Structure 1
């Protein structure tokens, strides 16, 4: 589905703050239950939006007066589907301004995963405003300043942003709370601060989506490989944070006597193992 026309018209300026309804006509009949889930608005309203349908047209009832001199962005993400269950390939954005100008800032990029850079579709992408001296939004605010979603090619595009610096993250938001949770795949930006402006080029380095690992490795086996070396195997690949011998404290299994360690190194061809060399 696509948007045929809107009232107020897309990209219109000086829209009255007393406007109570955004009317959107689609090219075909829409699965109505998909709209509340697919729609996000920037800036957000405190109260819930209401929807009134007539054929292919939906009236989105705005619950409060609009802010003066503000660009409003209504984004329908890829959860929007037609009456046959066919979803959008990429988000649709409708914007207008209650002031004399509309924001034209843009940020474009791509989300991928794995060493081969496989495109990741239907991933939420959030942009957080950065103050001029900010080192990062820590913790992340409760809600992002802007939201969009990746298309089938993994690409995403923010439009109508206020020009400035942003921290942009990608998130497989399974529970739709618009916050990264421990078991959700997450990607930090290739550069800490990205600038939104009207001539922004696509960020050349992709956001790399990865699953957070919150479980420590489990010891599986300790096996001697020579008179003064033994191999410690775990249930998953491990990386040595330190090679300091004093970080390891093995004991003789028969006497319980501490064993001095002279060195620790990763096991060749065994990513889930570490070799310990004793005195």
Structure 2
């Protein structure tokens, strides 16, 4: 839809002075009024509560059914008149939605909720409504696209939707002015705002079912969405730069899986000297999400033509690319930097659970794995040694795993003799690294128990308790009756939700856009749970809606 902007005043200037404006703009009046029938004008009007950005309004107006042509916009202060480009069809209900992308001029405040009104060019008006919510952290301003299904439902996402709305604060939405029929509805984070779903860039929410509105229906509520990335494009190598003889910084078009960033998955080929180099180390380090580092021994002439070859690249949602390659920018610089420790988990003087303890040491680059285990020591503060095993998260991360549970509410000391950790160029640091941490008290845990009702227990319900700030704090229960209990929960603010694991995968199935695969049903407990230490929440009633 394209637009012609016509203004009745030379400048759009809000009043100046006063306190900082934190009040979102509102729509105080529209013409024609909502519910008007036998409408025969060629325009509609919107009156805002304050001065608003004109371009944001233009981009936030959605008209259903869709009307082709160039609209004319005429402003007078806070009032807008929009002229239709063509004559409206007879006996049709039109719904106009002003989305939440509208911002005011004073402080760029967004509209809190979308505004919708409907009118009919005939004697009857469609008044059916579908409402729901998009869940997730970024759920405001998400587009809701509704398609009225006919005989063919193939590739409906390749056309513009029949009806459009937009989520407001909290992710709530309402589609209004709907006629009877069957609707397929998607939630789309439309990056281009062109009313078309772009699978390689837009996140999408898939419905659990199509919605049928009969002649006697007036409202369907409780349509819920979770957004996900349904990108089907393959990961690719896009660049490889040697920062010195031994380090190769690799860039991809998107983040790849940890399984892909293995040294044996890559080969460097010097096509000029006809040499092949095997990679010896691979690690993430402090790189961008789509980057990682490979290490190998070489003295390649910078003038040579050199390529990096990947056997298999897999992205985070399972798309695969085999036998990919990219050109390497060669460096003859010598690596003289000493190996260093950049961080630990837990941090120095931090805390950690005393059960299933894993202590992680992050180095700034890869190191030899054949060092003597005596280079690492774990003791209590009285010097009593703690037996442990060593593991490696990647070639630059050391993991210490005690054989037995540590004592609660007790201090421990980690020591590393860094002279035993040598990088590929032979660099090392002759120093002692040590840090102290403390195990948490068992009394600091919290818990949650109660009943979940209105649920079909034959469909493998899974209950999820997840921390809103720390994604690593996520607890999962498979439930077979109405009772549930979470124990040994770290204190914090949590979201509680449940899904029906009908494919028995153990994880939520978001569905698929086309060909359509409906998502699994889910329901969120309406309130955020503040679980305090040493205080278990009991007798919670969770109604699955």
Q: Same fold (TM over 0.5)?
A: yes
Q: Which residue of 2 aligns with 1:220?
A: 262
Closer, same or farther: CA 157–137 of 1 in aligned 2, 3 Å: farther
In the alignment, structure 1 residue 164 sits paired with structure 2 residue 187: no
SS at match of 1:157: strand
- The CA distance in 2 between the partners of 1:46 and 1:119, in whole Å, is 31
SS at match of 2:58: helix
Give, in angstroms, the shift of residue 221 of structure 1.
4.4
- The CA distance in 2 between the partners of 1:183 and 1:238, in whole Å, is 14
Give, in angstroms, the shift of residue 44 of structure 1.
2.2
Q: Which residue of 2 aligns with 1:12?
A: 36
Match of 2:63 among 41, 49, 54: 41
2:146 touches 2:164 (CA, 8 Å); kept in 1? yes
Q: Which residue of 2 aligns with 1:153?
A: 170
Give, in angstroms, the shift of residue 199 of structure 1.
2.7
The count of residues paired between Structure 1 and Structure 2 equals 223
Match of 1:120 among 134, 139, 161: 139
- The CA distance in 1 between the partners of 2:83 and 2:172, in whole Å, is 31
Give, in angstroms, the shift of residue 33 of structure 1.
2.1
Q: Which residue of 1 aligns with 2:116?
A: 93
SS at match of 1:201: strand
- The CA distance in 2 between the partners of 1:68 and 1:145, in whole Å, is 17
- Alignment gaps of 5+ in structure 2: 1-24, 236-255, 266-310, 319-392, 394-545
- The CA distance in 1 between the partners of 2:317 and 2:167, in whole Å, is 32
Q: Which residue of 1 aligns with 2:343?
A: none
Moved more, 76-85 or 193-202: 193-202
Q: Could you state the TM-score of these two structures normalised by the residue count of structure 1?
A: 0.72
Q: Which residue of 2 aligns with 1:209?
A: 227
Q: Deviations over 1:74-130 (max 9, x none)?
A: 1111111222221111211121111111111111121124xxxx4611111100111
- The CA distance in 2 between the partners of 1:215 and 1:107, in whole Å, is 36
Q: Could you state the TM-score of these two structures normalised by the residue count of structure 2?
A: 0.38
1:128 touches 1:137 (CA, 8 Å); kept in 2? no
SS at match of 1:169: strand
- Alignment gaps of 5+ in structure 1: 224-231, 240-269, 271-279
2:66 touches 2:162 (CA, 8 Å); kept in 1? no
SS at match of 1:30: coil
